[in-house]
Structure 1
Amino acid sequence: MSKEQRKHQRNPANGNLRIKTSLTGIAYTVSLRDVSKGGAFVHTLHLPRLNETISFEILDEYGLQLIRGHGKVVRIVERALDTATGFAVRFNELLDPAMLDYLCAVRLQETA
């Protein structure tokens, strides 16, 4: 997705999401690469289908649920030379600004 199509600024982030896909119903944990109020890109080898509906939980560093929500898979990235395998999800509801700040702060702490 080009920058012109994005409604919200992406921010580098660390953290984990527990994903449950609509087709398989199996839950698995993925790592955040970046996040915005409207969506996220996650690293994973377990790729859902494009346009698939997912439910997700944002987890803290202990694996406890902070919030949960639903979204739609809007982009799939298979392994390439300069990009890790993963997918982009558009959230059905905008992420709370405090949660966005938390996820970005976790990234800053880990890179410091």
Structure 2
Amino acid sequence: MIEWFTIVQVAIASVGGLLAVILGLAGKKPNDLVMGIAALVELLLIVQLVVAIAAPAFGNDATGDVLEFYIYLVSAVLLPIAGGFWALIERSRWSTVILGALCLAVAVMVYRMNAIWFVQVA
């Protein structure tokens, strides 16, 4: 994992999630902005997956449980996909709120993955 990239991911997912929750509570249905936020969060997670697979080959090993890290990562990758499909099927303001909540959940999961990778001692 790359620490600065993790900070960028958490910031984008947090700001995007808060924006989506606010838009949803204001009555907005899922639009290009909200779906774009979810897509950007997903893209960053896919890049994180590639980095996490390649990092041990370059000497950047996890200090915590690797299985726990990858379970978090795969789960986080699946969340925006599932939320995006649901938002496209049921186009209501609650879909926008759920997409925002999913982005906030991803931010927490990425923060936890950072702790597993850098802080814990196995």
- Which interval holds the TM-score relative to the shorter structure? under 0.3
Structure number with greater Rg is 2
Going by fraction, where is helix more abundant, 1 or 2?
2
- Give the structure-1-normalised TM-score: 0.27
Going by fraction, where is strand more abundant, 1 or 2?
1
Q: Which has the higher contact order (CA 8 A, sep 6+)?
A: 2
